[in-house]
Amino acid sequence: MAALTKTDFNFTGQTSVYHGKVREVYSIKNDVLVMIASDRISAFDVVLPKGIPYKGQVLNQIAEHFLDATASIVPNWKLASPDPVVTIGKRAEPFKVEMVIRGYLSGHAAREYKAGKRMLCGVPMPEGMKENDRFPEPIITPSTKAEQGLHDEDISREDILRKHIVDEADYIQLEKYTRALFAKGTEMAAARGLILVDTKYEFGKLEDGSIVLIDEIHTPDSSRYFYADGYAERQAKGEKQKQLSKEFVREWLIENGFQGKEGQTVPHMSEAFVTTVSARYIELFEQITGMQFVPADNSAIEQRIFENVERYLNQH
């Protein structure tokens, strides 16, 4: 199975390219973006040495599924998906905050709570909660969009406004959109026997001043899901929740002595492990979307992408 770990295209009208941790973004005539989801996989802010076949297709097609399903609620950047790993969309000026929304006390919020904190990003968290309990209502805990290589940092609504990172009218709109998307995502997850625990959204502004959702949405790389079946029983017994996310990759790394700390080496990724991770991503796709995964023909993956993108660009 071939994995797409790097691209170096030169599309018609291309003005620049950005190589992210797992995606490449090509600018076309400065008004259209071609986003390619590679098969690279990152954990603990480190890109692992081997690509995971079909991971890019899984993430791109989950994002496409949710962008299309929520377009009537919140406008988004997507114009087309001419290839299984490609989304083409309108260029927008990104807001320098990520809108994180949490329905449950999990992950970062649970760690802060355990450390005795009862405020997260200026939002109070009730007393008497235990890890993975549901919040009375979802809380928005924004983070600043870090420069490459740095960690995103928690920030309060008050600080965002005080530092003029986002103006108030825009921020109110971002909050409104965030809650609407999370409500729809929660409803869609429930229909699949899942709980959308927390997620993050990124937004940008088009030239006409309108705000749109950008980047991916509700994928296992940007969201945490629990299985609904048995959730209450596991909580009552104080057991770990059954998760649907890439947490299993982090757990494997930790078991093999790697947490991204200085002096640590990424463990050897055997072919069998890579195949297992690929199968888990396909399982994620089918569980989240309810659709059967149809693997693309990856025998000449770069040529396929180039031809599909060029065809689209030449027609528009």
pLDDT in the model for residue 145: 74
Domain 94-244 has CATH 3.30.470.20: yes
Band of residue 246 on the pLDDT scale cut at 50, 70, 90: confident
Question: Which position has the token pair 């006409």?
Answer: 208
Alpha helices in 195-300 (DSSP H): 231-237, 247-255, 271-289
Interval 262-270 mean pLDDT: 92
Sign of the Cα pseudo-torsion (276, 282, 287, 293, in order): negative
User: Above 80 in pLDDT, residue 1?
Assistant: no
pLDDT in the model for residue 151: 62
Structure tokens at 227: 């299985």
Could you tell me what percent of the chain has a pLDDT over 90?
85
The two beta strands, 194-205 and 223-227, are: antiparallel
pLDDT in the model for residue 297: 94
pLDDT in the model for residue 308: 98
User: Above 60 in pLDDT, residue 149?
Assistant: no
Q: Which of 174, 226, 225, 227 is nearest to 201 (CA)?
A: 174
Name the architecture of domain 14-91+270-315: 2-Layer Sandwich (3.30)
pLDDT in the model for residue 178: 98
pLDDT in the model for residue 251: 87
Interval 216-245 mean pLDDT: 93
Residue partners of 271: CB distance under 8 A and separation at least 6: none
Instruction: Write out pLDDT tens, residues 85-134.
Output: 999 999 999 999 999 999 999 989 999 999 999 999 999 999 999 999 99
Domain range list for the chain: 14-91+270-315, 94-244
pLDDT in the model for residue 45: 81
Residue partners of 234: CB distance under 8 A and separation at least 6: 132, 240, 241, 242
Q: What are phi and psi of 193, to 5 degrees?
A: 75, 25
| DSSP letters spanning 38-52 | -S--EETTEE-SS--
Highest mean pLDDT among 141-150, 218-227, 251-260, 306-315: 306-315
Buried b (16+ CB within 10 A) or exposed e, 120-144: bbebebeeebebbebbeebbbbbbb
Q: Distance between CA atoms of 54 and 59, rounded to whole angstroms? A: 9
Q: Which of 217, 208, 207, 209 is nearest to 73 (CA)?
A: 217
State pTM to two decimals: 0.92
Domains 14-91+270-315 and 94-244 share a fold: no
Q: Distance between CA atoms of 276 and 270, rounded to whole angstroms? A: 10
Mean pLDDT, the chain, as a whole number?
A: 94
Interval 160-165 mean pLDDT: 96
Return left, alpha or beta for 120; rule: phi > 0 is left, psi -120 to 50 is alpha, else beta. Answer: beta
Return left, alpha or beta for 226; rule: phi > 0 is left, psi -120 to 50 is alpha, else beta. Answer: beta
Instruction: Write out pLDDT tens, residues 23-82.
Output: 999 999 989 999 999 999 988 888 999 999 999 999 999 999 999 999 999 999 999 999
Q: What are phi and psi of 263, to 5 degrees?
A: 85, -10
Interval 284-293 mean pLDDT: 95
Q: Distance between CA atoms of 143 and 200, rounded to whole angstroms? A: 9
pLDDT in the model for residue 146: 63
User: Above 90 in pLDDT, residue 250?
Assistant: no
User: Above 70 in pLDDT, residue 148?
Assistant: no
Chain center to CA of 84: 17
Interval 156-175 mean pLDDT: 97
Structure tokens at 82: 């001419």
